Structure 1
């Protein structure tokens, strides 16, 4: 299977690349603005992609693949250009390239407007607004076979291999657990069309994905 990872040098993306690359029968097409920083591997093929670029230029650099995992983020520094517009441009061009399977790394609250509205909005309101409209575009304006993963706060703690999918049982997610879930759901067609809340939990990842 050929799988694109957009944001391959980010906190989550680089771990997704590592996890996918463990299966030597898969080819990981790892995209980032600085491809020289992408992990080296016999089945990892780096490519340069700049989410500020035009749709036409994004299409030119986007490889042919069976699936795409979007993990890119600006870290709050460039929300409209990267987290929103960059994501939408990749969706549009992935469809043109014939890449139907699209897994979006989103966030808890992205599709709950009250979390970023009213008198007491989330401190991450602007980030959630960007993710909100990117997620809505994916759902409403594409025919892609999408899955949207909505983790809570990301932490640098080692992954336990156990999570909760479909509900929140904790307020945090190990980045390693998030990466492992993304690598699992991209190959599981029964997660297509689903929006998956996620937190660290008590269910082994393979079982949790099978049960959603």
Structure 2
């Protein structure tokens, strides 16, 4: 069976680089979507220019014959409305126009809890995530999964996590990338919002039982 074609939007970010490489290692056909081609050379990876400030029509052009869109892009707090919110929504709109079925969104723990969003020390970022996640769930027909890790760290990945306990604990970048790859390969995660942090269960088992 031919492996899925996955477009990673935000492929040059901290998570994006890791998840792009890991998907390639698993044998997926990977389209690395970014404004910058640096650091994206790898087997099974094709660089495609993706600028979230572009129109929906331009974004559609890089989604032909794509099975899964994996959205891991972010502005780093520099342009939350245009990138983290509107860029995400435009990507969803483009995915539907390109007849992509599956959409995996990297979000943040408590992004759908309005009270926690409003009291957050990074409220503007969380608000952008709130509305992007809501749009994906309520305004599209995409087969979505929303992954909500807590704080990201540079610690080495353990390969073990805890899912869906609602806690906002630390997450190694490696573990987050590995969970995203596992989500792409497990359709039981469709239609689910999954919280995560570093924990005690091996990733593949945790995702399959999520």
Which secondary structure does the structure 2 equivalent of 1:107 belong to? coil
- Aligned partners of 2:128, 2:15: CA distance in 1, in Å? 18
CA contact (8 A) 2:149 2:168 kept: no
In the TM superposition, what whole-angstrom CA distance separates every residue of 1:109-151 from its partner, at most 9, and x where no partner exists? 110010122xxx2111100000000000000000000000000
- Aligned partners of 1:90, 1:101: CA distance in 2, in Å? 12
- Aligned partners of 1:66, 1:153: CA distance in 2, in Å? 29
Partner of 2:31: 29
Structure 1: gaps (5+ residues): none
- Aligned partners of 1:136, 1:169: CA distance in 2, in Å? 20
Structure 2 residue aligned with 1:125, among 123, 126, 134? 123
What do you get for the CA RMSD once the two structures are aligned?
1.1
Q: Which runs of 4+ in 1 moved over 6 A?
A: none
How far off is 1:62 after superposition?
2.9
- Aligned partners of 2:183, 2:39: CA distance in 1, in Å? 22
How far off is 1:169 after superposition?
5.2
CA gap of 1:96–1:170, structure 2 versus 1, over 3 A, is: closer
Deviates more, 1:62-71 or 1:12-21: 62-71
**What does 1:192-207 correspond to in 2, within 5 Å?**
192-207=190-205
Count residues with an aligned counterpart: 207
How far off is 1:167 after superposition?
1.4
**What does 1:64-75 correspond to in 2, within 5 Å?**
64-75=65-76
Partner of 2:99: 98
Structure 2: gaps (5+ residues): none
Partner of 2:9: 6
CA gap of 1:61–1:29, structure 2 versus 1, over 3 A, is: same
CA gap of 1:124–1:93, structure 2 versus 1, over 3 A, is: same
CA gap of 1:210–1:125, structure 2 versus 1, over 3 A, is: same
CA gap of 1:64–1:96, structure 2 versus 1, over 3 A, is: same
How far off is 1:68 after superposition?
1.1
How far off is 1:60 after superposition?
2.2
How far off is 1:61 after superposition?
3.0
